[in-house]
Structure 1
Amino acid sequence: MKSKKAILLWSVFIGSWILSQVGLAQEKPNILWITIEDTSPQFIGCYGNEDASTPVIDQLAQEGVRFTNAFSTGTVCSPSRSTIITGVRTFEMGTGHHRSNYAIPSFIHGFPYYMKKEGYYVTNNSKTDYNVGNIKDFTNEAWNESSDKAGWWNRKPGQPFFAVFNFNDSHQSRTMSMSYDWYAENVWNHLSEEDRILDNAFEMPPFYNDTPEMRKQFARVYNSIKLTDNRIGNLLQKLEKDNLRDDTIIFFYADHGEGMPRGKTNGINYGYRVPFVVWFPEKYKHLSPWGTSGAVAEELISFEDLAPTLISLTGGNVPEYLNGRILMGKDRSEAIDHLVLSSDRADNGPDMVRSITDGRFVYSRNFVPFTPQVRHIRYINIGEITQHMRDDLAKDKLNPLQKSVFSARPSEFLYDIKNDIWETNNLVDDPRYTAYLKKMRKQLDLEILEAKDVHFLPEYEIGLISKKGTAYEYRTNTGNYPIKKIYAAASLSGKLGYQIAKRQIALLKSKNSIVRYWAITGLRCQSEIVLKPYKNQLLAAIEDTYPPVAITASAISFDHFKQEKAAEKLREFCLHNNMDLALMAINGLLYIDEKQPFVQTILKVHNLPNRNYNVKAACMDFLGILNLVPNTAENEH
């Protein structure tokens, strides 16, 4: 009898405990995370574009908080998503090159891993593209479920959820890269007649030529975003139908800036800035430090802040390796006065830009400025809008601003993005802004050195490091990585003239191979007349023992001095089994005038087995310049 009574009491206790835990779980907010692709805030209604049709997003902003200074830490999807999922900036972890998939330290996890520890059911529907090694295990550890069927519906009763939905309807494939017929089938035909935005129903950004054909292509942006807005509306209806809206905080944002020429892949505001809205239900409005019901937050936020914010918001302990801010809740971090952003290789188009912004100004330092803003990236070149732009350039139909996107860049940009949202006026040489320029230069220099930016190593070097370790851990070992010496050499790249060239030539004698790499990269930016006195030194550098130096010296020597020895070296490296070196050599050929001597080599490379996408894409760009292959999306398959 006593035993039965004890069992009964124990059962009541256990039942009460279970109910209390369910109650506690229900007190934690659900979080719905809506991400869209390749979209700048300039094309969203609540950000002031009266031509846009985004009523669902606009209502979220009208009832929630709209951020005016939200920035992606990169300008193309996989580097941006690397920072989103890990909370670590790409130039600290070595993940800045698009789809490089290098190893990261074992102690760095996808942040939903920490939310699972707090009892959350975490799902991803369904894009990953995290740009890290061992991607299958990394993804499985991060999520309870990651698939195109994932959502809140498989959680336990009363279990709080974090559910991510990725909408790709505004992706660059829809807005420009695939053919117009493909766009019509996948976007236009999915819109009702009243939803469709016509070619004459919007203003063209000034760096695109305002012609009927360009308008036909650019209307794809507006219609793709309209379809995205419709899809978001359907998701929110499901949330409402499941009676979850009152318990769910909703985040909405894009993964980086607009996926059009000069936007995506470019280290300027048009590539970095994103729309970002947070909506709070009544019971969780107290968590918003900005207010709600149409509040506008001007504080600076970046993707580095998302991981610590979500971990903290759901009750977890933020790991020490996360340096971003906690944006809301009791442990909210103080606002900051600037952000550091970065843009590196996108597909087959190498680049290196470091930027700093205070929300009013964006300052960008271009470390390989001899390539233009619209450089040779296959996924951009196959777009019909890019081909119209290049055709208008050849026919001299573009104004100076429109031509500038195809010219070598200056080493620095400074834009007043409050008064010049389309970044048409570079203020670097305007004496009225000298104080801003000096301040932002100094801030960026200090931030790069403090972070020990690992992308000042050529990607070839990061590939070698990643065979035995991680770039993140290599970077933090000061004995391995003399960043001050390397950055001193890199800081000369893009600066022009005889005195700079003289210093760069002297650095070619450095014992440090990375210093020599930056010396030769800087010399690649110099004009033929400046380099002429150093012809012999450049020819000698062709035999440098460090391949990236030899490749770049060969590109310079052939381009300016037509040295056959240099041509042979370039052919040799185009055929190299190391894909980083092969890509570097082929890219060297894309930006020289005389391409004909290399046609047979490029044809051979393209037909070789085991060449990766980037090498094949660079080959196609080379052949496309010479009109030896058509520049169409269909030709890629």
Structure 2
Amino acid sequence: MKNRGTFLLMFLVLFVVSKSALGQNDERPNIIFLLSDDQTSVATGCYGNDQVKTPNMDQLAKDGVLFLNHYNTTSICMASRANILTGMYEYKTGCNFMHGDLAVDKFENSYPVLLKDAGYFTGFAGKVGFVLEETETEKIEDGLPVGYFDKWGGGPGQTIYETAKNPTIKEYAKEYPHSTRAYGAWAGDFIKEAKSSGKPFCMSISFKAPHLPFTPDPFFDEVYEGQTYKKPDNYGVENATHLAPQAKSGRQYNSYDFWRASEESYQEAIRKYNQLIHGVDYAIGMIRKSLAEQGVDKNTIIIFTSDNGYSCGAHNLGGKVLPYEEASRSPFIIYDPRTPESQRGVQRKMVTANIDMAPTILTYAGIAIPKNMDGENLVPLVEKEKGIKRDHIALTNMWGNDEIQALTVVTEDYKYIYWQYTDDRMQPTEELFHISKDKLEMHNLAQDGAYKTTLTKMRKLYDARYKSMVKDGMKANDYAKYAVLFDRKAPESLKKQYRTLNYEQLLKQEAEDRKNKNIHKK
């Protein structure tokens, strides 16, 4: 009997150990990361916009923490998504249009790969937004990281709003013909499968909405039917006279005519844009409902943000890219159901950035943050108003015509932009905005004597960030040139050697590309 008792005890110990090894007793939190595309923070109800309907985003903010000053360190999808995954600035990822694809070794140090290696059940759906460099591995299919996830619902390029045209989610097309709700349905199936795995899970969904073309889900046509929108006070060309000439030299100022073609055109564009965002909001509701139905809502952290903002006609601008508020800021919410009531529904003013996503997610999962990551772990900031020490973040634009490429530093109160480009039309220009009082950026204070001390301080932050970029930035993928271009003290004779294409040259090149494409078609 004694031997039999010893045998049973050993059996029970082995059973518990094996069960734990399978992750079935793993109490680490589940993590959901949700990313919209081109959503500016001011297009969200919880940021004070009473012209939009985003009830699920607003509820998420009431249940969690709303970050009031969240920026994308590069406001363009390809670079921003690489920044989010790796926790690094673009000058370290080396990934953006006109520069290069994301290196596999950098992706393998991203949050979803690290979580999977640590025993999480992982899934991805939606727009990837970049491709991985060619390498010998079965985990990559057509440049996409398919094999790095347990469940895959992603797609190449921009993906397509029509569900049936996205192979990895086409099974949802009959019930959900628009991809936004289809991703909500995909998420529900993922949550069921993840629960059955016995492991904690990490699900990342990158919606196409509200990216162009503005093709909203007809399911929501009644939401904004008959509504007329009031334009923001910084809308239009008359509110752009104070901007640097560099900012007005690119497609952001000279294209996107639908925002200013007519009142009717503006109203149609903003309605469709908001309706697309409402679709994302609805999908968030679908996901929260699925969590509750599967009984995993009490241990699932939800993080919601966007890859960049969108100008929507502010300062006569369309698109993103530029470091102004509408284009660089996005909504950002963290909801952790395990936090006490006193830490819910709170707001944080400290500046946060897309590079903070990876370190924060890793911390929630109990995984050490790699030293190469530039972002901050925001968990202490969730818990306490001054939970982290940060005096600024940097915004970079290293894409597009030469004129608009710039380095910017942002604090909780101020933004300093150094527009480095010069030619016979313009000189290097400084912009200083008191953004805590002037969110619409209507007053450039760089030449205001009353702000001389502040300007000096912001220049010092800029120079420190510039030195960090020179020290840590890659030399490959044409990034070495920014050690010269972003140097406030470098002579134009030196900078001229690193120019590529000004706006006029860019237009000519694009026209030639279109011509060659048409010839090829014939």
Paired with 1:340 and 1:73, the residues of 2 have a C-alpha distance of: 6
Paired with 2:388 and 2:87, the residues of 1 have a C-alpha distance of: 18
Paired with 2:192 and 2:510, the residues of 1 have a C-alpha distance of: 56
Say whether residues 1:318 and 2:318 are aligned partners: no
Q: Which amino acid aligns with 1:344?
A: M
Paired with 2:451 and 2:48, the residues of 1 have a C-alpha distance of: 27
Q: What pairs with 1:377-526 in structure 2 (closer than 5 Å)?
A: 411-452=429-470, 462=477, 483=483, 486=484, 490-491=487-488, 504-505=492-493, 507=494, 517-518=497-498, 521=499
Say whether residues 1:589 and 2:508 are aligned partners: no
Single out whichever of 87-96 and 23-32 deviates more from structure 2: 23-32
Q: What pairs with 1:341-356 in structure 2 (closer than 5 Å)?
A: 341-345=395-399, 351-356=404-409
> Do the aligned residues in 2 keep the contact of 1:265 with 1:343 (CA within 8 Å)?
yes
Cα separation, partners in 2 of 1:369 and 1:30, compared to 1, 3 Å: farther
For residue 462 of structure 1, give the secondary structure of its aligned residue in structure 2. Answer: coil
Q: What pairs with 1:259-408 in structure 2 (closer than 5 Å)?
A: 260=312, 261-281=317-337, 284-285=338-339, 291-328=342-379, 334-345=388-399, 351-368=404-421
Q: Which amino acid aligns with 1:124?
A: F
- CA shift at 1:53, angstroms? 0.8
Residue-by-residue CA offset, 1:451-491 (whole Å, 9 max, x unaligned): 2178897xxx726xxxxxxx7xxx7xxxxx994xx358x53
Match of 1:376 in 2: none
Cα separation, partners in 2 of 1:8 and 1:110, compared to 1, 3 Å: same
> Do the aligned residues in 1 keep the contact of 2:402 with 2:421 (CA within 8 Å)?
no
Q: Which runs of 5+ in 1 are unaligned?
A: 175-182, 372-406, 464-470, 476-480, 494-502, 508-514, 522-547, 549-583, 610-635
Match of 2:270 in 1: 218
Residue-by-residue CA offset, 1:284-309 (whole Å, 9 max, x unaligned): 205x9xx5331011122112121122
Cα separation, partners in 2 of 1:38 and 1:115, compared to 1, 3 Å: same
Higher RCO by CA contacts (8 Å cutoff, separation 6 or greater) = 2
Q: Which amino acid aligns with 2:436?
A: K
- CA shift at 1:63, angstroms? 1.8
Paired with 1:259 and 1:451, the residues of 2 have a C-alpha distance of: 27
- CA shift at 1:108, angstroms? 5.2
> Do the aligned residues in 1 keep the contact of 2:75 with 2:328 (CA within 8 Å)?
yes
Q: Give TM-score scaled by structure 2 length.
A: 0.75
> Do the aligned residues in 2 keep the contact of 1:93 with 1:104 (CA within 8 Å)?
no
Q: Which has the larger radius of gyration?
A: 1
Match of 1:567 in 2: none
Cα separation, partners in 2 of 1:329 and 1:47, compared to 1, 3 Å: closer
Cα separation, partners in 2 of 1:107 and 1:79, compared to 1, 3 Å: closer
Q: Which amino acid aligns with 1:143?
A: F
Match of 1:196 in 2: 224
- CA shift at 1:162, angstroms? 1.0
Single out whichever of 142-151 and 52-61 deviates more from structure 2: 142-151
Q: Which amino acid aligns with 1:411?
A: T
- CA shift at 1:249, angstroms? 1.2
Q: What pairs with 1:524-563 in structure 2 (closer than 5 Å)?
A: none
Paired with 2:109 and 2:349, the residues of 1 have a C-alpha distance of: 30
Cα separation, partners in 2 of 1:603 and 1:191, compared to 1, 3 Å: closer
Paired with 1:602 and 1:305, the residues of 2 have a C-alpha distance of: 38
> Do the aligned residues in 2 keep the contact of 1:78 with 1:98 (CA within 8 Å)?
no
Paired with 1:70 and 1:4, the residues of 2 have a C-alpha distance of: 62
Q: Which amino acid aligns with 2:449?
A: P
Residue-by-residue CA offset, 1:366-395 (whole Å, 9 max, x unaligned): 233779xxxxxxxxxxxxxxxxxxxxxxxx
> Do the aligned residues in 2 keep the contact of 1:126 with 1:166 (CA within 8 Å)?
yes
Q: What pairs with 1:20-39 in structure 2 (closer than 5 Å)?
A: 25-39=25-39
Residue-by-residue CA offset, 1:516-546 (whole Å, 9 max, x unaligned): 514xx4xxxxxxxxxxxxxxxxxxxxxxxxx
Cα separation, partners in 2 of 1:417 and 1:330, compared to 1, 3 Å: closer
Residue-by-residue CA offset, 1:215-264 (whole Å, 9 max, x unaligned): 23222222222222122212222222222211111111111112643451
Residue-by-residue CA offset, 1:562-615 (whole Å, 9 max, x unaligned): xxxxxxxxxxxxxxxxxxxxxx48x55357xxx8xx999667544566xxxxxx
Cα separation, partners in 2 of 1:265 and 1:600, compared to 1, 3 Å: closer
Match of 2:294 in 1: 242
Q: Give TM-score scaled by structure 1 length.
A: 0.62
For residue 75 of structure 1, give the secondary structure of its aligned residue in structure 2. Answer: coil
Cα separation, partners in 2 of 1:453 and 1:95, compared to 1, 3 Å: farther
- CA shift at 1:3, angstroms? 8.0
Residue-by-residue CA offset, 1:598-634 (whole Å, 9 max, x unaligned): 999667544566xxxxxxxxxxxxxxxxxxxxxxxxx
Cα separation, partners in 2 of 1:432 and 1:24, compared to 1, 3 Å: farther
Paired with 1:433 and 1:191, the residues of 2 have a C-alpha distance of: 48
For residue 407 of structure 2, give the secondary structure of its aligned residue in structure 1. Answer: strand
Q: Which amino acid aligns with 1:95?
A: C
Match of 2:150 in 1: 144
Say whether residues 1:69 and 2:66 are aligned partners: no
Paired with 1:107 and 1:124, the residues of 2 have a C-alpha distance of: 14
For residue 126 of structure 1, give the secondary structure of its aligned residue in structure 2. Answer: strand
> Do the aligned residues in 1 keep the contact of 2:67 with 2:332 (CA within 8 Å)?
yes
Q: CA RMSD in A?
A: 3.7
Q: 1:228 aligns with which of 280, 284, 288?
A: 280
> Hey, which of these two has a bigger chunk of helix by percent?
1
Say whether residues 1:92 and 2:92 are aligned partners: yes
Cα separation, partners in 2 of 1:240 and 1:107, compared to 1, 3 Å: closer
> Do the aligned residues in 2 keep the contact of 1:362 with 1:415 (CA within 8 Å)?
yes
Paired with 1:267 and 1:462, the residues of 2 have a C-alpha distance of: 22
Cα separation, partners in 2 of 1:97 and 1:196, compared to 1, 3 Å: same
For residue 309 of structure 1, give the secondary structure of its aligned residue in structure 2. Answer: helix
> Do the aligned residues in 2 keep the contact of 1:344 with 1:350 (CA within 8 Å)?
no
